[in-house]
Amino acid sequence: MLAHDGHNCLDVDECLENNGGCQHTCVNVMGSYECRCKEGFFLSDNQHTCIHRLEEGLSCMNQNHGCSHICKEAPRGSVACECRPGFELAKNQRDCILTCNHGNGGCQHSCEDTADGPECSCHPQYKMHADGKSCLEREDAVPEVTESNATSVVDGDKRVKRRLLMETCAVNNGGCDRTCKDTSTGVHCSCPVGFTLQLDGKTCKDIDECQTHNGGCDHFCKNTVGSFDCSCKKGFKLLTDEKSCQDVDECSLDRTCDHSCINHPGTFTCTCNKGYTLYGFTHCGDTNECSVNNGGCQQVCVNTVGSYECRCHSAYKLHWNKKDCVASCDLSCTIKRTEKRLRKAIRVLRKAANREHFHLQLSGMELEGANKSPRTSEHQLESCGVGQSHAGNQCVSCRAGTYYDGVQERCMCPNGTFQNEEGQITCEPCPRSENPGALKTPEAWNVSECGGLCQPGEYSADGFAPCQLCALGTFQPEAGRTSCFPCGGGLPTKHLGATSFQDCETRVQCSPGHFYNTTTHRCIRCPAGTYQPEFGKNNCVSCPGNTTTDFDGSTNITQCKDRRCGGELGDFTGYIESPNYPGNYPANTECTWTINPPPKRRILIVVPEIFLPIEDDCGDYLVMRKTSSSNSVTTYETCQTYERPIAFTSRSKKLWIQFKSNEGNSARGFQVPYVTYDEDYQELIEDIVRDGRLYASENHQEILKDKKLIKALFDVLAHPQNYFKYTAQESREMFPSIVDSGLRMAVSSTASHCWGQMSWMRQGLAELDFSQLRVRR
Output the pLDDT for position 606.
93
What is the CATH classification number for the domain harbouring 237? 2.10.25.10
Q: For 590-633, give the DSSP string.
A: EEEEEE-PPTTEEEEEEE--EE----TT--SEEEEESSSSTTSP
Q: Kindly report the CA angle at 52 between 47 and 56, in degrees rounded to 5? A: 95
The pLDDT, as a whole number, for residue 358 is: 59
Please indicate, yes or no, if residue 597 is contained in any of the structural domains.
yes
Residue 116 lies in a domain: no
Asked which of 686, 707, 737 is the last residue of a domain, the reply is: 686
Alpha-carbon span 277 to 560, nearest angstrom: 11
Mean pLDDT, residues 742-767 = 41
- Evaluate if residue 52 carries a pLDDT over 50: yes
pLDDT for the residue numbered 628: 92
Better-scored residue on pLDDT, 478 or 420: 478
What confidence tens digit (pLDDT) does each residue in 162-172 have? 454 557 787 78
Does residue 121 lie in a domain region? no
- Whether 589 and 706 share a structural domain: no
Residues 682 and 645 in one domain: yes
Instruction: Check residue 506 and give its pLDDT.
Output: 94
Q: What is the separation of C-alpha 435 from the centre of its chain, rounded to a whole number of angstroms? A: 59
pLDDT digits (tens, 9 = 90+) for 634-670: 999 999 898 889 899 999 999 999 999 988 778 999 9
CA 422 from chain centre, in angstroms, equals 46
Same domain as 586, residue 672? yes
**DSSP one-letter string for 277-318:** EEETTTEEEE--GGGTGGGG-SSEEEEETTEEEEE--TTEEE
Mean pLDDT for 146-160 is 49
Same domain, 593 and 660: yes
Do you find a cis peptide bond into 466, omega within 30 degrees of 0?
Answer: yes
**190-202 residue pLDDT tens:** 998 889 999 888 8
Residue 381 lies in a domain: no
pLDDT above 70 covers what percent of the chain? 77
Contacts of 144 (CB under 8 A, 6+ apart): none
Strand, coil or helix: what is 205? strand
Total domains, the chain? 6
Would you state the pLDDT for residue 330?
A: 66
pLDDT of residue 55: 46
pLDDT score for 558: 93
At 616, the pLDDT band (50, 70, 90 cuts) reads: low
DSSP state of 197: E
- 331, part of any domain: no
User: Do 662 and 772 lie in a common domain?
Assistant: no
Let me know whether 568 and 666 are in one domain: yes
Residue 537 is assigned to a structural domain of this protein: no
766 or 278, higher pLDDT = 278
pLDDT digits (tens, 9 = 90+) for 707-727: 888 888 898 889 888 877 776
Would 254 be classed as within a structural domain? yes
> Can you tell me the distance from the alpha carbon of 148 to that of 155, in angstroms, rounded to the nearest whole number?
8
Q: Which of 659, 686, 713 is the last residue of a domain?
A: 686
Q: What does the buried/exposed string (b/e) look like for 309-348 if buried means 16 or more CB atoms within 10 Å of the residue's CB?
A: bbebeeebebbbbebbbeeeeeeeeeeeeeeeeeeeeeee
The answer to whether residue 420 scores a pLDDT higher than 80 is: no
Any domain includes 420: yes
pLDDT at 776 over 60: no
Q: How confident is residue 74, by pLDDT bands cut at 50, 70 and 90?
A: low
500 vs 76, residue with greater confidence: 500
Q: What is the mean pLDDT of the chain?
A: 80
Whether residues 673 and 579 share a domain: the answer is yes
Query: Residue 682: which CATH number?
Result: 2.60.120.290
- Please give the pLDDT value at position 749: 44
| Higher-confidence position of 476 and 418 | 476
The more confidently predicted of residues 405 and 575 is 575
Over residues 131-139, the mean pLDDT reads 80
- Check whether residue 565 and residue 644 sit in a common domain: yes
Are 696 and 777 in a shared domain?
yes
Between CA 32 and CA 37, with CA 34 as vertex, the angle to 5 degrees is 170
The pLDDT of residue 463 is 87
Which of 387-396, 547-556, 683-692, 758-767 is predicted most confidently? 547-556
> Is the pLDDT confidence value at 143 over 60?
no
pLDDT at 677 over 80: yes
> Of the segments 39-53, 60-74, 178-192, 404-418, which one has the largest average pLDDT value?
178-192
Q: What is the CA radius of gyration of the chain?
A: 41
Full residue range of the structural domain in which residue 734 is found:
691-777
For residue 750, the model assigns a pLDDT of 34
Digit-coded pLDDT (tens) for 457-475: 999 988 888 899 999 999 9
Which residue spans within 78-138 are E strands per DSSP?
79-82, 87-89, 96-98, 110-114, 117-121, 126-128, 135-137
Helix, strand and coil content of the chain, in percent to the nearest 5, comes to 20, 30, 50
Same domain, 617 and 574: yes
Bigger pLDDT: 334 vs 733: 334
Asked whether residue 707 falls in the same domain as residue 645, the answer is: no
Last residue of some domain: 40, 55, 70? 55
682-689 vs 754-766: helix crossing angle, rounded to 10: 10
Same-domain pairing of 675 and 758: no
